[in-house]
Structure 1
């Protein structure tokens, strides 16, 4: 199975250009940025122009996100989102994927509100798909929402009936943080994800996982069978001084905040690099990670890309051995692996 990483870019046009330039100059390859998640409704005209120029000059694959997050946090209404996507998709046919409009249930929603959002997402996505230009339909991606398997099945049944639809995405993770803006791979969400992936694959649909993808969650996504995922963690976490290493929980390299993970020291750096078999131009010295947010960004991006490739060639036992003993995602992976083995033996 192949797992594809989409680097979510939700930054200013100048930062977009700087991200590509720094990676190419320092790393010598743009491969970690070959697949990009971009949200048109969140960016202005300059951002649209910049991502189009990057696409034309570098040849990247752009997934246009629906912007359901903007509805989720209250910045836009669902009606405004639909109208915007109708116009933008109709005028821009150069994308690799087109995410259909979705109304995201959050953890605090009542069961009635969740049901309404699920039905609204499925019905509007189906209508929106039928109205899309024919050349875009094979590139459309419909979002599966729901807190129960019946709700997920409702979406999948609706989408499986759409002639020519090839891709769906899973968006019903747990949410936390300010305005419910952070997706979490809870135990319930993981089981729903794994179940939905199996159902979608049986229907011939690929599955994308939205907005989850730290180093310790990638093995769970792979184990669940998803085909692709996106995350902003490589950039967002670096702003808090945090750095990633393959299969490990985050470390705090800036030593300026208590919001990060364990503190990373100069003496520990060579050991953690050797243990995780990671090496990149942006983590040669501790001073690079401590003082430069951009070095942390580039380093984290490379780690996520590297892990996505490595996990495909590892057994579950090798993955569990590589992960931190105290990692909650390791415990979750071990638990679901053990459960699956028990089911097989019965």
Structure 2
């Protein structure tokens, strides 16, 4: 088993950070095609077997790393969120335990039931109880070495109560997850979180509560999107996140650049049918200095733009490299004490204002 980068303690000088590239089992594994991306942590999900039950035998009953060209760490998600949206296809907990027991994944996620926005306190309580029952079952079947419990909560008291249950189940967890971040930030139908500021403040509170409760643990945030959100959550205290944002942006036709929102790889002033902005002169300069697996082989910015405009794979490779580089840059900034300056150059004010720097 590979050695993980551990979260810092109050006595440590370094903060090790980890980004897991979210990957669909139905999609091309771009990270396996480029030397610069091989060995990066990858995340797959059993949720794909909810929509396509044949994948249980076709894919998940066999070693996963050889199938997807994985040279580095592999995390396997239970697919809890997918099952919540498609309950008719939900996988039995025993099936999940059997897959986890035989998988070559390095970590796997306990089956959780994220609380919905329009649910009553009792409905949420029922979901927390089912999540806790699943954790107890998987703990008995698999132990704590690779299993990640997940913290949920729509209030501070709910988060605290669920943290207490995880602590009571075992004192030897190596990892703890923070769930429900994506729907919180999307702010759907929750009057208590009626604007983005309140949603971000609640996410910040959940992360800090979890980190304070598990100061020596790896704390992982699930389903994080844009680079700015990844950096924000890491600055708040998580040291591990997974994201499919790099793939989603590439599929949409856009690219990442350091400290910038996703952009179409087109110069400003050129008429396009796209709604997102094209590249400004400053962003063109950033692209000229890019050393990703695609850009570094191009002799001009025009060639870079042409490559990135040509298809999904170049954009995905570029985006993965950029977001991984941003995480490494944050890690270096923390080590050198320059994280305040770095984060102020990368984060929108609504995230930066939440940090106690």
**TM-score (normalizing by structure 1):** 0.79
In the alignment, the residues of structure 1 paired with residue 63 and residue 105 of structure 2 have an alpha-carbon distance, to the nearest angstrom, of 14
- After superposition, what is the alpha-carbon deviation per residue over 1:146-205, rounded to whole angstroms, capped at 9, x for unaligned? 111221222221211233322110002251499x9xxx973321222222222222xx43
For structure 2, the residue ranges without an aligned partner over 5 or more in a row are 1-14, 50-54, 191-195, 267-271, 299-303
Is contact 1:107–1:174 with CA below 8 Å preserved after alignment?
no
- After superposition, what is the alpha-carbon deviation per residue over 1:81-116, rounded to whole angstroms, capped at 9, x for unaligned? 523312212332x22101111001233333332222
* Number of the residue aligned with 2:227: 215
* Number of the residue aligned with 1:95: 105
Pick from 179, 197, 202 the counterpart of residue 188 of structure 1: 202
Within a 5 Å distance, the mapping from 1:50-129 to structure 2 comes to 51-54=64-67, 58-76=70-88, 80-92=91-103, 94-129=104-139
Is contact 1:219–1:319 with CA below 8 Å preserved after alignment?
no
* Number of the residue aligned with 2:147: 140
In the alignment, the residues of structure 1 paired with residue 222 and residue 287 of structure 2 have an alpha-carbon distance, to the nearest angstrom, of 29
* Number of the residue aligned with 1:243: 255
* Number of the residue aligned with 2:156: 149
* Number of the residue aligned with 1:344: none
Gap change, CA 1:105 and 1:128, over 3 Å in 2: same
CA apart distance, 1:77: 6.0
Gap change, CA 1:4 and 1:21, over 3 Å in 2: closer
CA apart distance, 1:322: 2.0
Pick from 324, 327, 339 the counterpart of residue 316 of structure 1: 339
Is contact 1:104–1:171 with CA below 8 Å preserved after alignment?
yes
Gap change, CA 1:177 and 1:334, over 3 Å in 2: closer
* Number of the residue aligned with 2:3: none
* Number of the residue aligned with 2:26: 12
Q: Does 1:173 align with 2:173?
A: no
Q: Matched residue pairs, number?
A: 310
Within a 5 Å distance, the mapping from 1:268-287 to structure 2 comes to 269-273=283-287, 278-283=290-295, 284=298, 285-287=304-306
Output the aligned Cα RMSD: 2.9
In the alignment, the residues of structure 1 paired with residue 273 and residue 314 of structure 2 have an alpha-carbon distance, to the nearest angstrom, of 16
CA apart distance, 1:118: 2.1
In the alignment, the residues of structure 1 paired with residue 137 and residue 105 of structure 2 have an alpha-carbon distance, to the nearest angstrom, of 20
* Number of the residue aligned with 2:311: 292
Gap change, CA 1:229 and 1:131, over 3 Å in 2: same
CA apart distance, 1:268: 5.7
CA apart distance, 1:58: 4.8
Pick from 128, 131, 142 the counterpart of residue 141 of structure 2: 131
Pick from 315, 321, 324 the counterpart of residue 305 of structure 1: 324
Is contact 1:115–1:146 with CA below 8 Å preserved after alignment?
no
**TM-score (normalizing by structure 2):** 0.77
* Number of the residue aligned with 1:37: 43
Structure number with higher helix proportion: 1
- For CA contacts below 8 A with separation 6 or more, give which structure has more relative contact order: 2
In the alignment, the residues of structure 1 paired with residue 187 and residue 248 of structure 2 have an alpha-carbon distance, to the nearest angstrom, of 14
